[in-house]
Amino acid sequence: MELSDFTRAKEGPVRVTTVLKNLIAVTSIFVRGFEFTAGGLVLDVRPTWRRPRCCQCQRRSAVYGTQAPRRWRHLGLGSLRIWLRYAPRRVHCRRCGTVRGEHLPWAGPNTGFTLAFEELCAYLAQITDQTSATKLLGIDWRTVGVIVGRVVERKINPSRLKGLRSIGIDEFSYRKRHHYLTIVVDHDRRRVVWVGEGKSTVALARFFAEIGPEACRQLESVTMDMSAGYRRCVRDHAPQAVIVFDRFHVQKLAGDALDRVRRQVMRDMDDGDLRQALKRSRWPLLKNADEATERDARKLSDVERSYKPLYRAYLLKEALRLALSRKQP
């Protein structure tokens, strides 16, 4: 790149620190200098405001002292790692009534990463697995989880639990050996509003305790699977809400009943020819009719000719599926 690329027609040459400031794309910051080290490019920075601000309430406060210089990991440029270096001040905040750290425009309190870096880390953890995020960013596996927790805490909407009318409850397995989360979604706004560890009555009771009795009385409908613990908890905290079971579990009950009929028929049947006709009929019976192959259709014809009660059970299962598929009941 030629020197003319760093010049302007009227303003003259552009300072290197200005170029670096535009490169890191952080507002309310001055770049005072830079240094190339073995760990990457280190930029000496400071906030644009002279008088420090409290990290809690961001009110301008008196300087209490200055800490040792620290570094924050920023977004890299290709394979080049970029660090921001600054000696943060401590302030005595009258509003908070205590001594706190200084508010920094590029990073939150008690972290070694900039806000932009943590946003990228959380995004990678959302679209891919945590291990891939560690390899792309070059940080520890547990650090990714800590960063995601901080980003969620900053981004979470404090009013997400207000105005709930129709909610959905389900569990989610997040690790081997039966580790579960209870997830509550708001159907009206189509977003997750609460997550708690466990899948028992106690786990869901924490959600109802958090929203309070008044919000519980405003719930109109709750969708869930057929968990007895969830049902009991909803009845205890929101008895007026209509419980709606999700289609998958309702339809699964019909499939399980059909398979029990098939197994009972196979156990009670003495005729060898009939047993041969019903052999290998399990999956054609359980499969949806609109997904059946030509081979499945032939097996269903054998079932219809050989044993009417089993074929009737299949028709009942299909009738329920079609009824649940209708948009206008």
Residue 37 belongs to a domain: yes
- For the ranges 34-48, 114-128, 287-301, 309-323, which has the lowest average pLDDT? 287-301
Residue 107 belongs to a domain: no
Per-residue pLDDT at 6 exceeds 60: no
Q: Are residues 174 and 197 in the same domain?
A: yes
Residue 179 belongs to a domain: yes
d(CA 47, CA 58) in angstroms, rounded, equals: 13
Q: Are residues 19 and 98 in the same domain?
A: yes
Residue 129 belongs to a domain: yes
Reported as half-sphere exposure (CB side, CA atoms, 13 A), residue 235 has a value of: 6
Mean pLDDT of 8-13: 48
Q: Which residues contact 323 (CB under 8 A, 6 or more apart)?
A: 329
For 41-97, what is each residue's pLDDT tens digit? 999 999 999 899 998 888 898 888 899 999 999 999 888 999 999 999 999 988 888
Residue 218 belongs to a domain: yes
**pLDDT at residue 13, rounded to an integer:** 58
For 282-302, what is each residue's pLDDT tens digit? 899 989 888 888 888 888 888
Q: Are residues 12 and 98 in the same domain?
A: yes
**pLDDT at residue 25, rounded to an integer:** 87
Question: 65, 72 in Cβ contact below 8 A?
Answer: no
21 vs 8, residue with greater confidence:
21
Q: Are residues 93 and 69 in the same domain?
A: yes
Helix segments in 67-221, DSSP class H: 115-127, 130-137, 141-155, 201-217
**pLDDT at residue 317, rounded to an integer:** 94
pLDDT band at 4; cut points 50, 70, 90: very low
Q: Are residues 44 and 122 in the same domain?
A: no
Q: How many domains does one find in the chain?
A: 4
> Mean pLDDT across the chain, nearest whole number?
88
Domain final residue, candidates 218, 245, 272: 245
Per-residue pLDDT at 128 exceeds 50: yes
Per-residue pLDDT at 303 exceeds 80: yes
Q: What is the CATH number of the domain that holds 201?
A: 3.30.420.10
pLDDT band at 14; cut points 50, 70, 90: low
Mean pLDDT of 264-275: 78
**pLDDT at residue 274, rounded to an integer:** 74
Per-residue pLDDT at 199 exceeds 90: no
Helix and strand numbers (H, E) in the chain are 11, 14
Residue 161 belongs to a domain: no
Residue 122 belongs to a domain: yes
Q: Are residues 291 and 317 in the same domain?
A: yes
Mean pLDDT of 172-195: 89
Domain holding 268, by residue range, is 248-325
For 253-262, what is each residue's pLDDT tens digit? 999 999 999 8
pLDDT band at 7; cut points 50, 70, 90: very low
Question: 81, 73 in Cβ contact below 8 A?
Answer: yes
pTM, 2 dp: 0.67
- For the ranges 105-119, 183-197, 267-281, 300-314, which has the lowest average pLDDT? 267-281
Q: Are residues 205 and 133 in the same domain?
A: no
Q: Are residues 239 and 255 in the same domain?
A: no
Mean pLDDT of 179-194: 93
